[in-house]
């Protein structure tokens, strides 16, 4: 038995309506996917430092660039003031911070479980994201204190930095290399970077230390209003530190970086680095790097300490922890970053 099926004709109007419905449905799916991606809200925090230093404006700039495209990627960034590098590394470890700016020496200590991280042990999840700018170890002294070289600090009132700060870590290493205890000073203050300049100006201390990028607005203000000078930090002990530790290098603060300072100041220093945890999502790390390099000209000229930034060096200098997988992939895939070397200041800068 043969059954004959009668072909049912479809009117042109029904065909158009059906096609239109499919198009609308597809568009809805696309829009839904886009909205879903935008609605995957992620709040991230970058640990910085005191407002008088460079870490805070660096973190603020990074967050500004990320938040500019928040509607696309759904990531909102906040820059958090902190006591400094040690606290930052500790909070990356606990997950309180997604990213943090830390000195290269503190990055090394956290990775290995040395110094202030000895009790917790090595942070095997610590990851490098990128290298930022050089941070010379800087001593500023009152001109009437009689301090002209490193050894003159003995018997003086010195701010050695607050616990949890990178400058305290560097100062303690210098003290250890010189065989100094706190008792070597008339007093060893533990003021924060936001407090110490006022203490120097009011003659509460004779000298203070900073590990910071130059030129620095707070140091400029201190030198011009508090009758203070920069001190050379050199000699056999400093040479030994540079040769022994991979995160240190000989540096100098350029002459004329500050009013009344015509000669370069010899010292040593570290590199400011951005770190994260291996648990920080690849998508978030990628968006941060993309936000930075898409706005690199603005970042470079947002602070004098960033003027010397070289993009092709930002994935290597001072980085002792393994690279985050997303950061490693980004730098491998990135377009020729050398074109960023010739950027000019934006209008009005």
> For residue 348, what pLDDT is reported?
53
pLDDT digits (tens, 9 = 90+) for 231-263: 999 999 999 999 998 889 899 998 888 887 778
The answer, yes or no, to whether residue 20 has pLDDT greater than 50, is no
The answer, yes or no, to whether residue 23 has pLDDT greater than 80, is no
Instruction: Please tell me the distance from the alpha carbon of residue 327 to that of residue 334, in angstroms, as a whole number.
Output: 10
Instruction: Please tell me the distance from the alpha carbon of residue 40 to that of residue 73, in angstroms, as a whole number.
Output: 8
Is residue 84 within 8 Å of residue 164, measured between CB atoms?
yes
Mean pLDDT of the chain: 86
> For residue 216, what pLDDT is reported?
85
Provide mean pLDDT across the span 90-109.
Answer: 96
Instruction: Please tell me the distance from the alpha carbon of residue 75 to that of residue 43, in angstroms, as a whole number.
Output: 6
> For residue 301, what pLDDT is reported?
92
Task: Tell me the three state secondary structure of residue 77.
Answer: strand
Continuous H helices in the chain: 12-39, 55-67, 70-73, 85-94, 104-112, 166-178, 193-201, 217-225, 236-244, 282-294, 296-300, 325-333
The dihedral of CA 80, 321, 338, 134: what is its sign?
positive
- Structure token pair of residue 190: 């533990």
Instruction: Please tell me the distance from the alpha carbon of residue 259 to that of residue 264, in angstroms, as a whole number.
Output: 12
Percentage of the chain exceeding pLDDT 70: 85
The answer, yes or no, to whether residue 35 has pLDDT greater than 60, is no
Is residue 128 within 8 Å of residue 107, measured between CB atoms?
yes
> For residue 342, what pLDDT is reported?
55
Find all residues with CB under 8 Å of 16, minimum gap 6, and list them: none
Instruction: Please tell me the distance from the alpha carbon of residue 168 to that of residue 50, in angstroms, as a whole number.
Output: 14
All structural domains of the chain with their residue ranges: 38-342
Single out the residue of 187, 199, 194 nearest to residue 162, CA to CA.
194
In which band, very low, low, confident or very high, does the pLDDT at 284 lie, cut at 50, 70 and 90?
A: very high
Is 38-342 a domain of CATH 3.40.190.10? Answer: yes
């Amino acid at each position: 038995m043969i059954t004959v099926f009668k072909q049912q004709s479809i009117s042109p109007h029904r065909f158009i309506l059906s096609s239109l419905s499919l198009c609308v449905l597809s568009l809805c799916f696309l829009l839904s996917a886009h909205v879903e991606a935008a609605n995957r809200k992620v709040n991230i925090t970058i640990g910085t430092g005191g407002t008088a230093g460079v870490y805070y404006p660096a973190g603020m700039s990074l967050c500004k660039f990320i938040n500019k495209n928040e509607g696309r990627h759904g990531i909102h960034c906040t820059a958090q003031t902190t006591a400094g590098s040690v606290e930052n590394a500790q909070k990356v470890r606990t997950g309180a911070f997604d990213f943090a700016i830390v000195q290269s020496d503190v990055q090394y200590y956290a990775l290995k479980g040395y110094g202030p991280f000895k009790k917790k042990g090595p942070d095997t999840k610590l990851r490098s994201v990128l290298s930022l700018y050089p941070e010379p170890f800087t001593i500023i002294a009152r001109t009437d204190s009689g301090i002209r070289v490193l050894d003159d600090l003995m018997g003086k009132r010195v701010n050695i930095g607050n616990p949890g700060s990178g400058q305290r870590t560097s100062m303690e290493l210098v003290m250890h290399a010189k065989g100094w205890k706190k008792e070597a000073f008339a007093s060893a203050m533990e003021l924060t970077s936001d407090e110490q300049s006022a203490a120097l100006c009011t003659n509460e201390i004779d000298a203070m230390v900073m590990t910071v990028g130059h030129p620095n607005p707070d140091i400029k203000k201190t030198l011009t209003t508090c009758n203070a000078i920069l001190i050379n930090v050199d000699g056999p002990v400093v040479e030994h530190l540079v040769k022994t530790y991979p995160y240190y290098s000989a540096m100098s603060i350029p002459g004329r970086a500050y009013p009344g300072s015509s000669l370069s100041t010899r010292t040593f220093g570290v590199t400011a680095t951005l770190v994260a945890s291996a648990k920080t999502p690849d998508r978030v790390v990628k968006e941060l790097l993309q936000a930075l390099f898409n706005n690199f000209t603005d970042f470079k000229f947002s602070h004098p300490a960033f003027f010397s930034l070289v993009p092709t060096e930002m994935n290597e200098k001072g980085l002792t922890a393994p690279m985050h997988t997303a950061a490693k992939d980004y730098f491998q895939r990135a377009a020729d970053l050398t074109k960023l070397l010739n950027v000019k200041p934006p209008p009005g800068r």
